[in-house]
């Protein structure tokens, strides 16, 4: 009898041992859940509730609830145009950042030079300076009497200054500079995880550098491309300072429109609804992109 009881004991002990890690894991992530709930979920719920309030004069919002703010945001041609321009700005900034950032990331991941640390510092240095300062630097370069126009006029290449800012070109150039590190850093981590001997083996079998890159390095670095492109796209949609400083009144983005409604016009419900519409469109775009690129990565495997 005692032998039977001894034989049956281990499964109960094993079950307890299996149950303990689950409870321990919950308490480990509990502080993070509390922080997310307090600083992310509750503000979002507050914004959702604000977007359903009617607009009032002399008060943040009126009594009751309404869907009129969403109907106005989705039915106004001007707001839909600004939303389309914002999404197009993100879709334009991402490929430029990828084309400029991939060679830099590959070089950083493969270099054995003693200057590699310096290159890392140069890539990260823009992050040490505020967005306002970086945008103001581009303002000095691209303005009508800026450095670039003065050089072009002095060289006799143009007679009058070019319109390099207060348009989509100036905003895109500045956004690429601001968000380029966010494209490079994920790519560096993924490319470093690719074994260099694979490239050497492919080269020893007669493959050209271009073929090795196209058939081996590029597919294996796709997770970094996916992460970097999504990160830059989301940051571009929410950019405010750079479009205001480089775009002026000629380039409107949804972030600028939302801030104008919240602060200048004191229409908090309308601004909250427009912010949520922008967030919803961004999430849908990221979801579609992640699904498409996820299928592509499965095909590569």
For residue range 237-286, list pLDDT tens digits in order.
999 999 999 988 888 899 999 999 988 888 899 999 999 999 999 999 99
Of residues 270 and 299, which shows the higher confidence score?
Answer: 270
How confident is the model over 142-158, as a mean pLDDT? 89
Q: How far is CA 291 from the centre of its chain?
A: 17
**Mean pLDDT, all residues of the chain:** 87
Query: Cα(284)–Cα(282) distance, rounded to whole angstroms?
Result: 5
Per-residue pLDDT, 3: 43
- How large is the average pLDDT for residues 112-140? 86
How many Cβ atoms from other residues are within 10 Å of residue 33's Cβ? 11
Residue 5 confidence (pLDDT) above 50: no
Burial tier of 95 (Cβ tally within 10 Å: 0-12, 13-18, 19+)? exposed
Mean pLDDT, to the nearest integer, of 278-296?
A: 89
Please report the pLDDT score of residue 115 as a whole number.
Answer: 82
Query: What mean pLDDT is predicted for residues 221-246?
Result: 93
Q: What is the pLDDT of residues 168-188, one digit of tens each?
A: 999 999 999 999 999 999 999
- Provide mean pLDDT across the span 5-32: 62
| Reported confidence tier of residue 1, pLDDT bands at 50, 70, 90 | very low
Helices marked H in the chain — which ranges? 2-36, 42-51, 68-75, 77-110, 116-124, 131-142, 147-154, 168-192, 196-204, 209-212, 218-220, 222-237, 241-242, 254-259, 268-300
Q: How far apart are CA 202 and CA 68, in angstroms?
A: 61
The residue with greater pLDDT, 12 or 48, is 48
Percent of the residues in the chain that have a pLDDT greater than 70, as a whole number:
91
DSSP conformation class of 143: S
Cβ neighbours for 172, distance < 8 A, ≥ 6 positions apart: 89, 92, 93, 96
For the chain, give the percent of residues with pLDDT over 90. Answer: 53
Count of Cβ atoms closer than 10 Å to residue 60 Cβ: 13
Mean pLDDT of 118-130: 85
Q: What is the pLDDT of residues 55-92, one digit of tens each?
A: 887 788 888 899 999 999 999 999 999 999 999 999 99
Residue 138 has pLDDT above 50, yes or no: yes
- Residue-wise pLDDT tens digits, 180-217: 999 999 999 999 999 999 989 998 998 898 999 988 89
Question: How many whole angstroms separate alpha carbon 130 and alpha carbon 178?
Answer: 10
Give the per-residue pLDDT at 114.
Answer: 80
CA–CA separation, 140 and 149 (whole Å): 10
pLDDT over 70 (residue 22): no
Q: Dihedral, CA atoms, 146, 148, 149, 155, nearest 10 degrees?
A: 140
Which of 6-20, 118-132, 151-165 has the weakest average pLDDT? 6-20
Q: How far is CA 279 from CA 129, 164, 276, 295, in A?
A: 27, 30, 5, 24
Question: Does residue 4 carry a pLDDT above 50?
Answer: no
Instruction: Give the pLDDT of residue 226.
Output: 92
Question: Residue 17's pLDDT band (boundaries 50, 70, 90)?
Answer: low
What does the pLDDT read at residue 294?
79
For residue 112, what are its two tokens? 């054995």
- The encoded tokens of residue 40 equal 């992310």
């Amino acid at each position: 009898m005692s032998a039977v009881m001894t034989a049956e004991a281990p499964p109960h002990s094993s079950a307890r041992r299996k149950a303990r890690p689950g409870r321990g894991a919950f308490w480990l992530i509990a502080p993070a859940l509390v922080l997310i709930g307090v600083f992310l979920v509750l503000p979002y719920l507050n914004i959702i509730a604000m977007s359903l309030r009617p607009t009032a004069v002399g008060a943040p919002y009126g009594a009751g609830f309404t869907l009129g703010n969403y109907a106005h945001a989705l039915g106004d041609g001007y707001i839909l145009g600004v939303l389309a321009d914002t999404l197009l700005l993100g879709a334009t900034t991402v490929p430029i950042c990828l084309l400029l950032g991939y060679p830099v990331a590959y070089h950083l991941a493969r270099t054995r030079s003693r200057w590699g640390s310096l290159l890392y510092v140069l890539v990260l240095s823009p992050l040490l300076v505020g967005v306002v300062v970086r945008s103001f630097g581009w303002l000095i370069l691209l303005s009508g009497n800026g450095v670039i126009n003065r050089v072009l006029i002095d060289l006799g290449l143009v007679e009058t200054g070019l319109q390099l800012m207060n348009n989509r070109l100036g905003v895109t150039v500045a956004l690429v500079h601001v968000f380029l590190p966010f494209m490079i850093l994920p790519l560096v981590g993924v490319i470093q995880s690719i074994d260099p001997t694979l490239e050497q083996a492919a080269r020893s079998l007669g493959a050209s550098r271009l073929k090795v890159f196209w058939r081996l390095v590029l597919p294996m670095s796709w997770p970094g491309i996916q992460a970097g492109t999504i990160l830059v796209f989301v940051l571009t949609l929410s950019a405010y300072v750079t479009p205001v400083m480089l775009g002026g009144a000629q380039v409107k983005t949804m972030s600028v429109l939302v801030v104008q409604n919240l602060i200048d016009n004191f229409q908090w419900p309308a601004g909250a609804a427009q912010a949520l519409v922008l967030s919803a469109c961004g999430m849908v775009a990221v979801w579609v992109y992640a699904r498409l690129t996820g299928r592509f990565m499965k095909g590569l495997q």
